[in-house]
Every structure is written in C-alpha cells, then in structure tokens.
Amino acid sequence: MLVLITGGAGFIGHNLARRALEAGHSVRIFDDFSTGYRENVEGLEADVREASLLDDDALGAAVRGVDSIVHLAALGSVPRSIEDPKRSHEVNASGTLNLLEHARRADVGHVMFSSSSSVYGLNPRLPKKERDWVRPMSPYAVAKLAAEQYVLAYQQSFGIDTLAFRFFNVYGPGQRAGHPYAAVIPVFFEAIKRGEPVWVNGDGTHSRDFTYVETVCDVLLDAVRRRASHPEPVNLAFGTNTSLIQLISVMQGISDRPIQVRFRPTRPGDVPHSQADNTTLLNLFPSVVPVSLQTGLLRTKEWFDSANPSLQRSS
C-alpha cells in the first residue's frame, strides 16, 4: 500500500514513516521543511517531495497513485498563530482544503487528518467528548477546527473515507527543543539536560492528556490498514490528566539531576486543562494499548541523552 504522509519530516510524521516502512508499506513524504527536519528523512526508503500544501502542481503530483493519505503537515503552535494568524489559516485550513480537493480529483479514497484538542478551548468540561461544544482560544485552534470540518464534509459530500483525529499533546523521541515554539516536554528535558531552571507558564496547575507518539502511530497505521473511517471527530488520547507540576515530578523521578522550577505568566491562548474521553477511539480501535507516561518519558529521556535534540531546524 502506498501511503502519503504530509509533514513526514516532522516529529510525528517521521516516526510514522519509519513504522509504516517497517510494516511493509511504501511511503511518500510531502513536506516543505518549514518546521520539519531534513535529517529526519535521511536514509528512509521513501519518496520525498519538497513543496508546500499551497503548491497546486506539486501537491497534485504527490497525491496521484496513493492509497491512503495521513495529513500531518501544519504550522503548529498557539503562540505562532497569535503572531501571524493569517499564515496559520493559510497553511492549516486552506492547505487542508487544497489537499482534499487534489485527493478528490485523483480518486484517493482514504484521508486522515490531525486536528487538535485545542478546538475545545474555553469549554471547561473534563473529560472532553467529541460532541461537546467547542470554543477555540487561538487562531491555530480555529484553523484546525475549520480543517477537520472540511475533512468530515468531504466524507459526506464526495464519499471519501475520512478520519479527523483530535491529537492531545503528543510527545516522544524525535520531538526537539531548541526553537521558540517547542512543546513543553522537550523544553523541560532540554533544561534538565543543561542544568538550567524549568520555566512553567502559569502556576503549574495547567493539565494535559499526554500521548506517546508510538501509540499514535499504532492507531494511524491500523486505520490505514483497515481503511477506517468515522463521520465525526475522534479524540486520539487515553483520558489521562497530568498537571505540569505532576509532569515535573515524574521527570524528577527518572532524572539523575535536580530540577529547579520557575514560574512566569500564562501565555495567551493556552487552554487551562485538557483530557480526552476516549470511548469513540476504543470502539474504533479496541486493540490499541497506550504507553504509560512513566514509560514514555523514560524512553524520551533516553533519546535526549543519546541525541542532539536542540539541532536547529533546516530550511
């Protein structure tokens, strides 16, 4: 099976590409390397195409002949979207619509999309259910919501088998620090490795449903294999609720260095709490077994200890 992975040079994308190749799939990667890393795809037996989602000719050529698309390409980060809302919309919403149109014209029958738990925004309910009301707090979240709804609308309008997953704070080996929009776990590990203070945005009570990247890839590949589809969004997380202070405590337990914690104001657009109701996910993927936070953090630390996760992004 030929699988197109957009954003295949990114954190989740290159992990997925490696596991797809190991599973016997052929892989085509589409990435403009604006946020991905070139070394992530070096040595992969994959067809790598360098271009933007907004490049019609390149995108049209990339989708031809593929059996399934896993659409991970995005301009991530809430703070980045606040700095440049228009660019966030162009890539994350318009880029997704562009991909769907090319997939429809090329008769690609299966498309999966990585939406975000950030779409729930101001809704305080925990855990978050897919049918709960949404109220995005950032341009990034708005663009992700628009894109996921396009993905689901193309299922209804054109008969494409689609899945719109809402990702919840995916982490693991290959997720780098060393840039302004890095996620919290690599930033914390990088500070610990350097013997520097860990800076917490807010008072440390913000909580997240951290999901290990290997588990996410297992779900995505199972969906590719079974051509899985669903008419509504699907939370891709497992109902954990870990505060930043609790996260630091687990990191302290697996680290051989003391951790100094410092606090600063909460960032605009940050959702206070995030936790998934995973009923729909487990109904669709009953065999998935999540990796625990303790185990996932230990594997991530081992990668940090052996790699150079602060390498600056290639451009």
pLDDT of 315 higher than 70: no
pLDDT of 104 higher than 90: yes
pLDDT of 1 higher than 90: yes
Choose the weakest-confidence range: 33-47, 187-201, 299-313: 299-313
Please tell me the predicted confidence (pLDDT) of residue 250.
93
Nearest alpha carbon to residue 200 among 210, 212, 192, 188: 188
pTM of the model as a whole: 0.92
267 or 162, which is more confident? Answer: 162
- For 195, other C-beta atoms within 10 Å of its C-beta total 10
96's CB contacts (< 8 A; 6+ apart) are 53, 71, 113, 147, 150, 151
User: Where does the pLDDT of residue 313 fall: very low under 50, low under 70, confident under 90, or very high at 90 and above?
Assistant: very low
pLDDT of 213 higher than 50: yes
Choose the weakest-confidence range: 97-101, 177-181, 293-297, 308-312: 308-312
pLDDT of 269 higher than 90: no
Q: Summarize the confidence of residues 140-160 as an average pLDDT.
A: 98
- Residue 202 falls inside a structural domain: no
Please tell me the predicted confidence (pLDDT) of residue 181.
60
pLDDT of 100 higher than 80: yes
The winner for highest mean pLDDT among 88-102, 187-201, 300-314 is: 88-102
- Residue 284 falls inside a structural domain: yes
Spatial separation of the C-alpha atoms in residues 236 and 306, rounded to whole Å: 29
User: Where does the pLDDT of residue 74 fall: very low under 50, low under 70, confident under 90, or very high at 90 and above?
Assistant: very high
Please tell me the predicted confidence (pLDDT) of residue 266.
86
Using CB atoms within 10 A of its CB, is residue 168 exposed (0-12), middle (13-18) or buried (19+)? buried
- Residue 19 falls inside a structural domain: yes
Q: Summarize the confidence of residues 5-28 as an average pLDDT.
A: 97
pLDDT of 314 higher than 80: no
- Residue 243 falls inside a structural domain: no
User: What is the residue range of 67's domain?
Assistant: 2-168+212-238+276-288
Mean pLDDT of the chain: 92
User: Where does the pLDDT of residue 180 fall: very low under 50, low under 70, confident under 90, or very high at 90 and above?
Assistant: low
- Residue 105 falls inside a structural domain: yes
- Residue 269 falls inside a structural domain: no
52's CB contacts (< 8 A; 6+ apart) are 32, 34, 58, 91, 95
User: Where does the pLDDT of residue 308 fall: very low under 50, low under 70, confident under 90, or very high at 90 and above?
Assistant: low
Task: Tell me the CATH number at 155.
Answer: 3.40.50.720
* Number of domains, the chain: 1
Based on its alpha-carbon atoms, the radius of gyration of the chain, rounded to whole angstroms, reads 18
Spatial separation of the C-alpha atoms in residues 96 and 102, rounded to whole Å: 10
- Residue 296 falls inside a structural domain: no
- Residue 261 falls inside a structural domain: no
